A and B are shown apart, each in its own frame.
Chain A
Amino acid sequence: MWSLSHIANEIHTWLSNTFNPTWTQIIEMVLAGVAVIGLFAALGLVLVLMERRVAAWIQIRLGPNRVGPFGLLQSMADTLKLIVKEGLTPDGADKVMFNVAPFIAMIVAMLLMAPIAFAKDFQLWDLNIGVLFVTAISSIMVISILMAGWSSNNKYSLMGAMRSGAQIVSYELSAGLSIMTIVVLTGSLQVSDIIHSQANGWWIFKGHVPVWIAFITFIIAVTAETNRAPFDLAEAESELTAGFHTEYSGMKFALFFLAEYINVFIVCAIGATLFLGGWMPLHFGSGNAFNHAMDYIPSSIWFFGKTFLLIFLIMWFRWTFPRLRIDQLLNLEWKYLLPISMVNLLVTTAMAILGWHF
């Protein structure tokens, strides 16, 4: 069996037989770090290309088609260009803050990778407050944006950062409440428990209407939280040049750019875990032939398939909807999403207590 958990176990057994437990632990940590960085690089390349292709197809264009076969090497060429460019620090900027900010964005993205289950029994850290950990860490993201915007000593950067602050702080509420819906239904904050509770059907099927509402709220809120269009007020290239990363260039800009795509991947992975069953295959009821057929598809393919489906959804939003104004943005959160998700949480709680879900 070539499953990810099998490979991980093989490596663990080999390391335990060769080294003492302390060194095994250290080497495994290094390997996990390298794997995460490798995944980041791969995701950056794939998602940038995917975004440009989806954008082109939606706008009846062709998209990148010059570098490599079908333009597949376009994002490689872009990365190479960014690596050889100078990472300029402006004279009036707060040098330390300015240079640290992109790394904070990356560290947040790396920390968020920890509780995500990529395949069956393949998870960096299955801590018992997994979902809480994710919501807590993802709010640190705003600090890196505020640092970048404030230390740049540029009015566009500062305006972008302030907008982003208002946006992330308000949309975190409805994202958290829609995550709570699933926590209420599952009765656990642990990611593996949430996935196992969906063995006989994903929550989006089992939980019907309240979970649908929670899912829509979640998707809208995370689109806002990752600063993507139609909520890209933090960058708003037509108004603020590039918002909080106006002054960044070269690899420091690339880190922000990468962090955006990594965050999109992570929120979609969390959405897939909570609402679409994570690595769990599509099951209806229990023990029938359809379920057995679905079990043959490897769990990692299920996970990445669902995640990329949600990523496509978010890209689809970006290339369909126009950007909101700041007052419309805050109206949408405080007057619509938040009251709806609060009522929805109440209904879900009643549903969980009375057992109205399938």
Chain B
Amino acid sequence: MFIVKYIKDVWGAIASLATGMKRTLYYFTHHKEIITQEYPDNRDSLVMAERFKGEVVMPHDEKNEHRCTGCTACELACPNGTIKVITKFDISPEGKKKKAIDKLVYHLELCTMCNLCVEACPSDAIKMAQTFEHSVYDRKQLTKILNHPGSKIMEGVE
């Protein structure tokens, strides 16, 4: 019957609109759970989400050693040329030449935080940090060298 379907349509519409309005009224009247972060005020207690990706860093241990072998997998994985690995050859005590990094140059201004370099790294040398206050007055400051000066590769990482 046409008229029965019509009335059912109208009734269904009103019921579904009422469901939505009930939900928003619940939020309006339960003004406790606030998602707004009052950022500059709560800077000390700010908790970032675990999956937040701020910039690429290379962790160093207390002996100023990193895990980077200079394999350039990250440079190859990067879709927009953010990472540039400059390698050198270390001479080991036995007299053998061994590939190592001289500088790992990271252009923060080009990075899209896609995480592909971190996934490509075979030795877990780089990871994503949660820092986000990257504003500087000079663009040059956004070009970073990730390995600390005088650092060398950790024992046992090939």
Contact = CB atoms under 8 A, between A and B. Distances in A.
A58 B34 contact: no
B34 A62 contact: yes
Main secondary structure of the interface of B (DSSP, over half): helix
B61 interface: no
A59 interface: yes
Interface string A312-335: 000011011100000000000000
Contacts of A321: 17, 20
A60 B23 CA distance: 12
Given A61-B36, A62-B36, A319 B10 contact: no
B46 to A, nearest CB: 16
A336 B34 contact: no
Interface residues of B, number: 18
Interface bin, chain A: 10 to 19
Interface stretch (B25-33, B71-79, B85-93, B135-143): B25-33
B18 to A, nearest CB: 10
Contacts of B14: 216
Given A62-B36, A62-B38, A321-B20, A57 B10 contact: no
Contacts of A60: 27, 33-35
Given A57-B28, A59-B27, A320 B21 contact: yes
Given A319-B24, A320-B20, A336-B10, A57 B31 contact: yes
Interface of A: 54, 56-62, 65, 216, 316-317, 319-321, 336, 340
22 contacts: A54-B28, A56-B36, A57-B27, A57-B28, A58-B24, A58-B28, A59-B27, A60-B34, A61-B35, A62-B36, A65-B38, A216-B14, A316-B21, A316-B24, A317-B21, A320-B21, A320-B24, A321-B17, A321-B20, A336-B10, A336-B13, A340-B10
